[in-house]
Amino acid sequence: MFVVMATQATEAEVNGVKGRILAEGLTPFEHVGTSHTVIAVVGEIGARRPELMSLLGALSGVEKITPISRPYKLVSREFHPEDSVIRVLDAVIGDGSLTVMAGPCSVESREQLFETVDHVAVNGATIIRGGAFKPRSSPYCVQGLGGEGLRYLAEARDRTGLPVITEVMEPAQVDIVAEYADILQIGTRNMQNFSLLLAVGRAGRPVMLKRGYGATIEEWLMAAEYILSAGNPNVIMCERGIRTFETYSRNTLDLTAVPVVQHLTHLPVIVDPSHATGKQWLVKPLAIAGVASGADGIMVEVHPRPEEALSDGEQALTFDMFDEMMAAVVPIHEVVRPFHGDPGAEPVPAAAAR
């Protein structure tokens, strides 16, 4: 449930409500909105709901209590009507600008990474990607350079001035990855690794949460809720394709998820046409479609020589292909931007809640 404070509620009244929630063994999360402060009551409420609603509703400064039947609270639009805008170094995600995350699937060597970032950084990328710890379906495939890859990524950031994103695969890696990377990526295979979600929730870095390839939108949102409930509000959602009966493409890009996630949550959404399609020539059309659907950005894999790539070469863009894709998506973004509204301008009314 959410406690909606009166517009003129004082800080002491807000603190009074939070103290009462804590006294009940629950956790208050406060969001100071443009018109109201809303306090989400999080925890195991169970049968205490009616009693709690009248208890909290009677406190000074409270305007109303909104029961919320959705299982996710902190990621919901009802709690946080304005779009979340995430700032990392000079990159801004979710403010209506186009985020372009680009780089190799795996960091293979310093030379390969630098060659790639030198190209993408001056041709439209706003964030550098590259895997140091790789979740491979086969134990016999290249597993990534680990710590060495992280150091190269940090050097790539210094070289380009762009933030870097890389995957973290287990809770024990969170500290070291957070030391080198600016954004922590949770891969599709780990979307429901709850101890990892809680660990990145406690890390002081934004997190990009890829959708599990077999996960419903609600399961994906619940995974994000884990991260926010652990204290990290800076979560970026990434649609990277889901498993369907179709086998031609590696996955099926679920573009419906983009407006749905934007409707239900305040979090930015990125589309990854590389892992969604698995084919180089399909990346550009699906990047265009992702941007047209209103996504806050795209993530693409780029390699200086895709035929030599140690992982995901079939879906890696050459430098020329990256440039061609950028030439297509930038004007599309300019055209569609007004149709997707200004961030924060269109709060979804609480009445829209189920």
Rule CB under 6 A: which residues touch ligand PEP? Answer: 105, 131, 135, 167, 187-188, 210, 240, 275
H-only helix segments in the chain: 11-23, 49-57, 110-121, 147-160, 174-180, 194-202, 217-229, 257-264, 273-277, 280-292, 319-336
Residues 87 to 116: which contact Mn ion by CB under 5 A?
Answer: 105
In this structure, are residues 174 and 184 in contact, taking their beta carbons and an 8 Å threshold?
yes
Supply 15's token pair.
């603190």
Can residue 312 be called a binding residue for Mn ion (CB under 5 A)? yes
16 three-class SS? helix
Q: Supply the angle between the helices 217-229 and 257-264 in degrees, to the nearest 10.
A: 40
Nearest partner of 105 among 141, 130, 128, 135, judged by Cα: 130
The amino acid present at 59, given as its one-letter code, is L
Residue with Cβ nearer ligand PEP (78 or 167):
167
Question: Residue 173 Cβ, how far from Mn ion at the closest point, in Å?
Answer: 18
Question: Residue 301 Cβ, how far from ligand PEP at the closest point, in Å?
Answer: 7
Stretch that binds Mn ion, among 25-33, 224-232, 311-319, 334-342 (CB under 5 A): 311-319
Can residue 272 be called a binding residue for Mn ion (CB under 5 A)? no
Exposure string of 25-59, with b = 16+ CB inside 10 Å and e = fewer, is ebebbebeeeebbbbbbbeebeeeeeebbeebeeb
Q: Binding partner of residue 76 among ligand PEP, Mn ion, none, CB under 5 to 8 Å per kind?
A: none
Residue at shortest CB range from Mn ion = 105
Question: Residue 275 Cβ, how far from Mn ion at the closest point, in Å?
Answer: 6
Q: Binding partner of residue 166 among ligand PEP, Mn ion, none, CB under 5 to 8 Å per kind?
A: none
Question: Residue 96 Cβ, how far from Mn ion at the closest point, in Å?
Answer: 28
Residue with Cβ nearer Mn ion (42 or 117):
117
Stretch that binds Mn ion, among 42-50, 159-167, 252-260, 304-312 (CB under 5 A): 304-312
Residues 6+ apart with CB under 8 A from 128: 101, 102, 103, 117, 120, 121, 153, 156, 157, 160, 162, 163, 164, 165
Question: Residue 319 Cβ, how far from ligand PEP at the closest point, in Å?
Answer: 19
Can residue 296 be called a binding residue for Mn ion (CB under 5 A)? no
Interface residue list for Mn ion (CB under 5 A):
105, 312
